[in-house]
Amino acid sequence: MQRLSQLSSHLGLDPVDRSALSSAPTPHQKSSPANTNINTTTPTNMSKPKVIVTRQLIDEAQRILDEKKDELEIVQWHSEKPCPRTWLLENIPSASGLLCMLSDQINTELLDAAGANLKTIASFSVGTDHIDRPALKDRGIRLGYTPTCLTDAVADLTVMLILMAQRRGGEAIGKVVAGEWPQMPWHPLLMTGPGLRGSTVGFLGFGRIAQAALVRLLPFGIKRAVYLTSKPGQKVKEDHFDLLSTAKVPIEPAQSADQLAAESDVVVVGCALTKDTKHLVSTEFFKKMKKLAVVVNIARGPVIDTNALVKALDEEQIFGAGLDVIENEPNIQADHPILKQPRCVLVPHIGSATIETREQMATESVKNLLAGLSGDKMVNEVEL
C-alpha cells in the first residue's frame, strides 16, 4: 500500500488541504456550540434595509460591501463553505436584497419566507438554474448575474485541454507518478501526439468563449476554423474580437455536424445544452472524425454521449479527449469508465476557476445587489 499512499499524496488526496491561497479569506473559526451565529455579522440597526449575503466574499468585493455598513443592515455568512439552509430561512424574512451562490436554492419556500420587502437578488453565477425565475417575475424581483467575466478563464482552459489531449498530458503525468520513466526506452514515436500547426479546428457553438479560444489558437499555426451554430451554413453575427474580418486563415460556417466532424483535427464543444445539442457528439459523430483528432468539452457535459466517447477511445476512432464537464458531474466515482481511458483528461469543471475571474464575479455581484436596491442599472441583469 506504500505506493498508493505515495500516489495519493501526489494526487492531492492529503487530508490537509494545501489549496488555500494566501489571498483567500481566513477560514471561519470553529463555532462554539452555544452560539451557532458566530459566523454571521450581527445586525446593528433594524431600520436600515437588510441584505443577506450567503458567503464570505473575496477582498475587493467584501470591501465594497463593507463600505455600505452605515446604509445597510448586512447579514452575512462569513465562511468559504455554503451556509445551512436553516440559517438562510431564519435570516431572510424582511430582507430587501440577497446575494447568493449557485449552491443556494432560490425557490418559493425561500421567497415566501422573505416576504414582500425582497426586491433584488444578485447571484454569483453565470447559470441561474438554481433560481425559480418565473416566481421572481411574479413578485417583481430583479435578478443580477455574472455571465461575462469568465471568458478569459474558460478560453485559457480550452487551450490547455486541447494541448493535453494532443500531447497526452494525463498519460504522461501518470507514467512519471507511477515511477515508469526510468523504464521507458526512447524511440522516435514514444509518447508522441499530433501537433496544432496546420490543423483545422471545429467549434460546436461559436459564441464569445469559442471565439476567444480561437484568438489564442491562431499563433499556434492552425490552418482553418469551422463552426456550427443553430443556423448551419450561416455566418455568425457577433464577431467579438474582430476575428472574422482580420484573421489570416479561413473561418467558415459548417453545413452540418457531419462536415465539422470529418474536417476537424480538433473539435471544441462550446455550445449551450438544448434538446438539439444533447448527445450531438455521438457514436455517429466519432465515426466521422479523423483518427488523430481530439475533442474538448468546455460547455455542458451532456452534449457528448459519454458511452460513445469511451467506445471511440477504446476503439481508437479518435486520438484523445479533454473534458472540463461530463454527464452526471460531479458524481464521477473512481471506477467511472472514462477514468480508465489514458487518452482522456477530465478536470472538475474548473473552467472559470481563476482568482481574477472569481474576484470579478464577486465584485459584480455586489454591484448588482447595490444597483438593485437603489433602482440603478445592474452590470448584468437577467430578463425575466
Among positions 153-182, residues that touch its own copies (CB under 8 A) are 153, 156-157, 159-160, 163-164, 166-182
Q: Is 339 in the site for its own copies (CB under 8 A)?
A: yes
What is the spatial distance between Cα 114 and Cα 165, in angstroms, rounded to a whole number? 48
Nearest distance in Å: CB 73, its own copies:
23
Tell which one of 66, 67, 242, 316 touches its own copies (CB under 8 A): 316
What is the spatial distance between Cα 271 and Cα 55, in angstroms, rounded to a whole number? 30
**Active-site residue among 130, 240, 279, 349?**
349
Q: Is 111 in the site for its own copies (CB under 8 A)?
A: no
Nearest distance in Å: CB 30, its own copies:
17
Q: Say how many C-beta atoms besides its own lie within 10 A of residue 170's C-beta.
A: 21
- Here the cell at position 284 is 455517429
Q: Is 367 in the site for its own copies (CB under 8 A)?
A: no
Please say if 349 is a catalytic residue.
Answer: yes
Give the nearer residue to its own copies in terms of CB position, either 125 or 277: 125
Distances in Å between the Cα of 257 and the Cα atoms of 227, 254, 370, 374 are 9, 7, 44, 47
Give the nearer residue to its own copies in terms of CB position, either 39 or 94: 39
Number of residues that bind its own copies (CB under 8 A): 104
Name the strand (E) or helix (H) holding 152. Answer: helix 151-166
Give the nearer residue to its own copies in terms of CB position, either 187 or 275: 187
Angle between helices 151-166 and 169-177 (to 10 degrees): 70
Name the strand (E) or helix (H) holding 251. Answer: strand 251-253
Give the nearer residue to its own copies in terms of CB position, either 17 or 276: 17
Among positions 43-102, residues that touch its own copies (CB under 8 A) are 55, 57-58, 80-82, 101-102
Exposure class string for 26-61: b at 16+ Cβ within 10 A, else e: eeeeeeeeeeeeebbeeeeeeebbbbbbbbbbbeeb
Nearest distance in Å: CB 140, its own copies:
29
Give the nearer residue to its own copies in terms of CB position, either 15 or 375: 15
Tell which one of 86, 129, 331, 375 touches its own copies (CB under 8 A): 331
Distances in Å between the Cα of 143 and the Cα atoms of 17, 23, 70, 73, 74 are 35, 29, 24, 20, 19
Nearest distance in Å: CB 26, its own copies:
12
Among positions 185-214, residues that touch its own copies (CB under 8 A) are 185-198
3-state secondary structure 274-315: CCCCCCCECHHHHHHCCCCCEEEECCCHHHECHHHHHHHHHC
SS3 60: helix
**193: alpha, beta or left? (left if phi > 0; alpha if psi -120 to 50):** beta
Give the nearer residue to its own copies in terms of CB position, either 18 or 275: 18
Among positions 22-41, residues that touch its own copies (CB under 8 A) are 22-25
Stretch that binds its own copies, among 3-11, 251-259, 273-281, 368-376 (CB under 8 A): 3-11
Stretch that binds its own copies, among 40-48, 111-119, 250-258, 326-334 (CB under 8 A): 326-334
Nearest distance in Å: CB 375, its own copies:
27
Q: Is 15 in the site for its own copies (CB under 8 A)?
A: no
Q: Is 115 in the site for its own copies (CB under 8 A)?
A: no
Among positions 215-254, residues that touch its own copies (CB under 8 A) are 215-216, 218-221
Q: Is 8 in the site for its own copies (CB under 8 A)?
A: yes
Which has the closest alpha carbon to 312: 299, 321, 324? 321
| Start-to-end C-alpha separation, the chain | 55
Q: Which residues are catalytic?
A: 349
